[in-house]
């Protein structure tokens, strides 16, 4: 595994790996927080593969380790990393990767004979349990990757159902880039006397090298500004975050009409279509991908130089995850946020939460004319993940240029 890690570019352990692997090998519960791109997957991956090498493995491949992730793309990436780290082992544990959005039948066939290690999204794993394709009563080690998202309300019911299927005695490894206080309290309910590993986010201490820019622009001119920046600053590839699936399709179409290779990326696409979009962006066939927040978590796009917040994220936590798609594996990156009169107050709160002021810029020819109304300033704020009815009505009425 050391040889495999070196083959992935690790000359030595990253800070999160050096801090988290020893207590994990001792069987301790670990709560690990570290910036995106800091090596968290290898941190828990090496520990759990080492665990599987040391424990008795009968001929029947009973599931002894389980990794839960929030998205299909992250499941595939984690499974690929674990398989790669185990490639030199003489008696490799079988790794099964299961997620929704595709037919369940091939996954059921892949689980015939069992699998010592399963990487899964919670919903599809429960489907497989209901089909008697997998049993979880032998799981000894449970990993939550992007734990803050999994412990959030959206996965609460599924996690409770899975917890009832797992043995009471098990080891936990929870990893994420962010652990808001409310999520931390939920994690504490799962963990027993955990070792807390918090990696600093200060420059020079393993934090990603991300340059942030905030550009003032009227909301109706964001698409024109985006096109202008892509062309004048010669961005080779860019991931652009928008608020809705409709916006991702709408803005992508406008960019295509302007001659830019662009595509949408959102939850309504089939898994095959989502995989093709990411492959085309990585391979250079696409220059711009317009994505919803489903692309903000765990998605690794090697060498992605620029991320743009076309629509601002709803929280500072989401902001951290969005901009973390760039500046991975030690590379530098750029994160650009479009700030209008109506979103200035919201962005100021994001700045406050991240403890960083981002100077405002104006681009010649795109100077804003809108002025923030007092009501928008007074009510702007970083909200939770779930949208209110009023938010949805405003969003439906808004026009995307």
- Residue ranges and CATH numbers for the domains of the chain are 2-198 (3.40.50.300), 209-397 (3.40.50.300)
Are residues 285 and 312 in contact, defined by beta-carbon separation less than 8 angstroms? no
Exposure of 310 by Cβ count < 10 A (0-12 exposed, 13-18 middle, 19+ buried)? Answer: buried
Say how far apart CA 173 and CA 68 lie, in whole Å.
11
Is residue 255 pLDDT above 70, yes or no? yes
What's the confidence (pLDDT) of residue 329?
60
SS (H, E, C) 276-342: HHHHHHHHCCCCEEEECHHHCCCCCCCCCCEEEECCCCCCHHHHHHHHCCCCCCCCEEEEEEEECCC
What's the confidence (pLDDT) of residue 54?
83
383 — pLDDT class (breaks 50, 70, 90):
very low
What's the confidence (pLDDT) of residue 34?
81
Give me the percent of the chain exceeding a pLDDT of 70. 87
398 — pLDDT class (breaks 50, 70, 90):
low
Q: What predicted TM-score, i.e. pTM, was given to this entire model?
A: 0.67
Say how far apart CA 218 and CA 240 lie, in whole Å.
17
Say how far apart CA 85 and CA 352 lie, in whole Å.
39
Is residue 368 pLDDT above 90, yes or no? yes
What's the confidence (pLDDT) of residue 370?
85
What's the confidence (pLDDT) of residue 317?
81
Say how far apart CA 61 and CA 376 lie, in whole Å.
58
Of 160, 122, 118, which Cα lies nearest the Cα of 139?
A: 118
What digits encode the pLDDT tens for the residues 70-94?
A: 988 889 889 999 999 998 888 888 9
What's the confidence (pLDDT) of residue 205?
44
Check residue 114 and report its DSSP letter: B
Higher pLDDT, 266 or 179: 266
Of 259, 224, 260, 226, which Cα lies nearest the Cα of 241?
A: 226
Arithmetic mean of pLDDT, 259-272: 89
Are residues 312 and 337 in contact, defined by beta-carbon separation less than 8 angstroms? yes
Dihedral (Cα; 61, 63, 65, 66), 10-degree rounding: 140
384 — pLDDT class (breaks 50, 70, 90):
very low
Exposure of 142 by Cβ count < 10 A (0-12 exposed, 13-18 middle, 19+ buried)? Answer: buried
Higher pLDDT, 34 or 110: 110
Give CA angle at 195 (192, 200), nearest 5°.
140
What's the confidence (pLDDT) of residue 201?
54
What's the confidence (pLDDT) of residue 14?
86
What's the confidence (pLDDT) of residue 345?
94
Is residue 204 pLDDT above 90, yes or no? no
Is residue 394 pLDDT above 90, yes or no? no
Token digits of residue 145: 């990757």
Is residue 42 pLDDT above 80, yes or no? yes
Is residue 8 pLDDT above 50, yes or no? yes
376 — pLDDT class (breaks 50, 70, 90):
very low
What digits encode the pLDDT tens for the residues 290-334?
A: 999 877 665 677 788 999 999 999 888 889 888 888 876 667 899
């Amino acid at each position: 595994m050391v040889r495999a890690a070196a083959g992935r570019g690790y000359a030595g352990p990253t800070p999160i790996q050096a801090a988290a692997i020893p207590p994990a090998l001792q069987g301790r519960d670990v709560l690990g927080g570290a910036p995106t791109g800091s090596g968290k997957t290898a941190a828990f991956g090496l520990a759990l593969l080492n665990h599987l090498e040391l424990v008795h493995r009968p001929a029947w491949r009973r599931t002894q380790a389980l990794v839960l992730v929030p998205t299909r793309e992250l499941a595939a990436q984690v499974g690929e990393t674990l398989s790669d780290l185990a490639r030199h082992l003489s008696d490799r544990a079988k790794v099964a990767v299961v997620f929704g959005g595709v037919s369940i039948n091939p996954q059921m066939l892949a689980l015939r004979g069992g699998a010592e290690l399963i990487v899964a999204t919670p919903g599809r794993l429960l489907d497989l349990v209901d089909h008697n394709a997998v049993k979880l009563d032998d799981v000894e080690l449970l990993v939550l990757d992007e734990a803050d998202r999994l412990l959030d309300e959206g996965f609460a019911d599924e996690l409770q159902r899975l917890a009832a299927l797992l043995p009471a005695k098990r080891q936990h490894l929870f990893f994420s880039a962010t652990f808001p206080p409310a999520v931390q309290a939920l994690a504490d309910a799962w963990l027993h006397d955990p070792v807390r590993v918090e990696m600093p986010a200060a420059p020079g201490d393993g934090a990603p090298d991300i340059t942030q820019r905030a550009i003032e622009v009227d909301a109706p001119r964001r698409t024109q500004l985006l096109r202008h920046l892509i062309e004048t600053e010669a961005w080779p590839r860019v991931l652009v975050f928008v608020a809705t699936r409709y916006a991702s399709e709408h803005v992508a179409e406008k960019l295509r009409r302007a001659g830019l290779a662009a595509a949408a990326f959102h939850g309504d696409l089939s898994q095959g279509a989502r995989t093709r979009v990411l492959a085309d962006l990585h391979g250079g066939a696409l220059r711009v991908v317009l994505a919803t927040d489903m692309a903000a978590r765990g998605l690794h796009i090697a060498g992605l130089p620029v991320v743009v917040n076309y629509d601002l994220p709803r929280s500072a936590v989401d902001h951290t995850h969005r901009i973390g798609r760039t500046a991975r594996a030690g590379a530098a990156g750029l994160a650009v946020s479009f700030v209008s009169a109506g979103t200035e107050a919201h962005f100021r709160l994001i700045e406050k939460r991240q403890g960083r002021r981002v100077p405002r810029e104006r681009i010649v020819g795109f100077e804003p004319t809108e002025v923030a109304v007092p009501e928008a300033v007074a009510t702007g704020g970083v909200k939770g993940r779930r949208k209110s009815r009023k938010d949805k009505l405003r969003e439906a009425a808004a026009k995307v240029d």
